[in-house]
A and B are shown apart, each in its own frame.
Chain A
C-alpha cells in the first residue's frame, strides 16, 4: 500500500519537536521555532534536509501560432541540431543509467530523437515557413497520435514522445534542456513530476532531497526516492512557485517543506537530524520491550534491491514485499520465470529471515495495462487487490505458483516464506485464498486487514488463516470514509483516531485468542509514538521502511510490556486523536 499523507508529524517524538503545518491544521507549538511558511505534501521516506531549492528546467508555453520564418534553411538547421543534441544526450544518459530497464527506455528515446524521418518531416514544415518549435510540436504530434491510437505498449511510448519533444524545443530556444539542473552545489530538486529520463541523471551527492508538485506515493519519483534513500515529498502543491535558491527544509517523515529557513531554524533542524542519525546507530538487537517482550521489526520492500545494505546482524525479515512493482508500467504480465526470479531474489536477499509476500495489489486507481480493468466511478471501493482474482483468477494462481517455485529455487525453509492477500473483506474470501495458496504449496498463509468488515470479524477470519497483517492506511481510509489523497481530510486519517485504534485492538485480541501472529504493515507501524501502544495491544510485528526501524526499536526498548499495556489502555479510552496522543505519549 502506498504511504498516506502524513497526518501526524509524530515520527520525530524522540526529540519532542513538531513542525508547523499549513494554517488551519492543528499544530503542537510546545517547541515552537516555527517556520515562516511551509508547504505540505505526502512524505516518502524519512530524514530532514536543509538546502537551497532548485527547480527542474521547464519550458515556457509556446505562442499559439508560429511566426513566419524568413530564413528557412537556418531554421531547419537549428531544428536538426536540436534533435541531434537531444539524441546524443539521451544516448549518453542511457550509457550512464545503472538500471537496464531505464537504459533501454532511454536508448529507444534517443533513437526517436535521432529518427531521420522525423527530422525530414520537421524540415518539410519549416520549408512551409513554420518556426522550429511549432514544426517540432506538429511533427511529434503526428506520431504521438499514431502511437496513442495503437494502444497498449505503444500508447505508453506516446507519453515519452512529449518528453523528447520538450527537450528538442528547449535546445532550439536556447534554454536549459528539461532535466536535472546542475547549480554547482548540493540542492533540493523541485519538479512537477520526474520522468525516467530525468531521474537517470540524478547524482545523490548533489541532489539531497526531492519535492514534486504532482505525483503520488507510487509515482516514479517516490519509487526512486525510496531506492536512493532520498528524503522526498510528493503531491506538494505550490512548490514550483518557490524561487530558485530559497533555503528550504524537507522533512520527509512529516511530509512538510519549510520555506525561507532562518539560520536559527536551520541549526535546530540540523541538530535534530544529527540526533536522528545518532538514534539510528544507538539501537541494537531484535525488536522488543525493555523487559524482553519481542515485537518483530520488519522491512517493507518492493524488490530485492531495497534490502541492499539493510540486512545486518539485527535484521528480522520482510513484513511486506509489494509484488506489484514487478507488474507496473508494462503491457504484458511478467512471465512465470521472471516472477520466480524476482521472488527468489528477495527470499535470498533476506538471508533466511522471514519474508511476507503480498499478492498483486492493483485496482482502477493503480491500473495495470494487461488486466484491461474498466474505469470505475469509485476505484477505492471497486475491483482491487484480491478482488481482481474474481475476473482474472489465473493471475493470482500463477503468482502463487511462482512464489512456491521461488521458495524451492532460493532454497529457503517453507516456514520463512509467508504469503498474504490484500483487500480481504470476509472469512469466506480468506478461506478461499488460503485454500488456493496451500494448494500451490505455500505453508504460511495470511490476509491483510484493510477493510473494517475484516477487522470486525478478525477472529473468524484468523481462524481460516495463519496470520493477519493490518494495512493501516487503507483501514483508516475505509473506517473514516476519507480519501487517502484528500489533503483537507488529513485530520480524519490521523492514525490515532479512536475508531481506528479500536479496530486494530480487535485484531490484536483475535491474535492473542487464537495464538497467531497479527502484525501491522501500514504507515502507523513506522510511528515511534504508536509502537508501544501497538505492542501493548498484543501486536506481534511492525513492518516499515528500513530507515524507520531504529526509531521504532528505540521507542519499544524504552518501555516495559506493562507500560505498553498501560499506554494502550489509555489510548483506547481516549475520546479523540489528540487526547489519545496526549494520554499515550
Chain B
C-alpha cells in the first residue's frame, strides 16, 4: 500500500474547479486511488460526489492511497494526484 499525506493548496478547497480537475485526473488513471480526510470514510478519488462530500478546504490534510504493484503504477498515480492537491488549481490556467 502506497500512502501520501498532502495539504490542499487550492484557494477554494477541493470544490468547484479544483474538484473537477482532480476527479478527472483520478478517473483517467489506470488504478483506483482512495482519498481520506481524518474522521471520514475514505472515498474513491475518481468519484465527484465522494470528493465533494469530504468537504476539504484550503489547508485540509488529505491522505492518498493506492495498492502497490510491480510496475509502480500505484505509486505513480498517488504522486500525480498529490502534486495536483499541492497546487493552487484556482490559479492555474487550464481549460478544465
Contact segment of A30-38, A111-119, A126-134, A179-187 = A111-119
Those of B31-88 within 8 Å (CB) of chain A: 43-44, 46-50, 52-53, 55
Q: Give the chain A neighbours of B47 by CB distance below 8 A.
A: 115-118
Contact of A111 with B53 in the complex, beta carbons under 8 Å: no
Identify which of A111, A118, A143 contacts B23 (C-beta below 8 A). Answer: A111
Distance, CA A435 to CA B26, complexed state (A): 53
Contact of B20 with A150 in the complex, beta carbons under 8 Å: no
The answer to whether A147 and B52 touch (CB under 8 A), given A104-B20, A107-B20, A108-B19, is yes
Identify which of B20, B27, B46, B52 contacts A154 (C-beta below 8 A). Answer: B52
Distance, CA A146 to CA B15, complexed state (A): 14
Q: Give the chain B neighbours of A111 by CB distance below 8 A.
A: 20, 23-24, 48
Contact of A117 with B20 in the complex, beta carbons under 8 Å: no
Those of A133-162 within 8 Å (CB) of chain B: 143, 146-147, 150, 153-154, 157
Contact of A332 with B53 in the complex, beta carbons under 8 Å: no
Contact of B48 with A150 in the complex, beta carbons under 8 Å: no
Distance, CA A108 to CA B14, complexed state (A): 12
Contact of B48 with A154 in the complex, beta carbons under 8 Å: no
Q: Give the chain B neighbours of A332 by CB distance below 8 A.
A: 12
- Closest chain A residue to B17 by CB distance? A104
Q: Give the chain A neighbours of B46 by CB distance below 8 A.
A: 116
Q: Give the chain A neighbours of B53 by CB distance below 8 A.
A: 143, 146-147, 150, 154
Q: Is the interface of B mostly helix, strand, loop or mixed?
A: helix
Contact of B12 with A117 in the complex, beta carbons under 8 Å: no
Contact of A117 with B52 in the complex, beta carbons under 8 Å: no
Contact of B16 with A117 in the complex, beta carbons under 8 Å: no
Distance, CA A150 to CA B41, complexed state (A): 15
Query: What is the distance, in angstroms, from A316's C-beta to the closest C-beta of chain B?
Result: 39
The answer to whether A150 and B24 touch (CB under 8 A), given A117-B44, A332-B12, is no
Identify which of B16, B17, B24, B49 contacts A118 (C-beta below 8 A). Answer: B49
Q: Give the chain A neighbours of B16 by CB distance below 8 A.
A: 104, 108, 153
Query: What is the distance, in angstroms, from B18's C-beta to the closest C-beta of chain A?
Result: 11
Query: What is the distance, in angstroms, from A336's C-beta to the closest C-beta of chain B?
Result: 14
Query: What is the distance, in angstroms, from B54's C-beta to the closest C-beta of chain A?
Result: 9
Query: What is the distance, in angstroms, from B72's C-beta to the closest C-beta of chain A?
Result: 24
Contact of B52 with A157 in the complex, beta carbons under 8 Å: yes
Distance, CA A150 to CA B14, complexed state (A): 13
Distance, CA A111 to CA B16, complexed state (A): 11
Distance, CA A153 to CA B49, complexed state (A): 13
Contact of A117 with B55 in the complex, beta carbons under 8 Å: no
Distance, CA A143 to CA B24, complexed state (A): 19
Distance, CA A218 to CA B55, complexed state (A): 29
Distance, CA A146 to CA B43, complexed state (A): 13
Q: Give the chain A neighbours of B27 by CB distance below 8 A.
A: 116
Q: Give the chain B neighbours of A146 by CB distance below 8 A.
A: 53
Query: What is the distance, in angstroms, from A198's C-beta to the closest C-beta of chain B?
Result: 21
**Interface pairs (13), CB distance under 8 Å:** A104-B17, A104-B20, A108-B16, A108-B19, A111-B23, A111-B24, A112-B48, A114-B48, A115-B50, A116-B27, A117-B47, A117-B49, A154-B55
Other contacts beyond A111-B20, A117-B49: 7, CB < 8 A: A116-B47, A117-B50, A118-B49, A146-B53, A150-B55, A154-B55, A157-B15
Identify the B interface with A (CB < 8 A). Answer: 12, 15-17, 19-20, 23-24, 27, 43-44, 46-50, 52-53, 55
Q: Which 10 A-B pairs have the closest CB atoms?
A: A117-B47, A111-B48, A146-B53, A150-B55, A143-B49, A115-B48, A115-B49, A112-B48, A115-B47, A153-B15
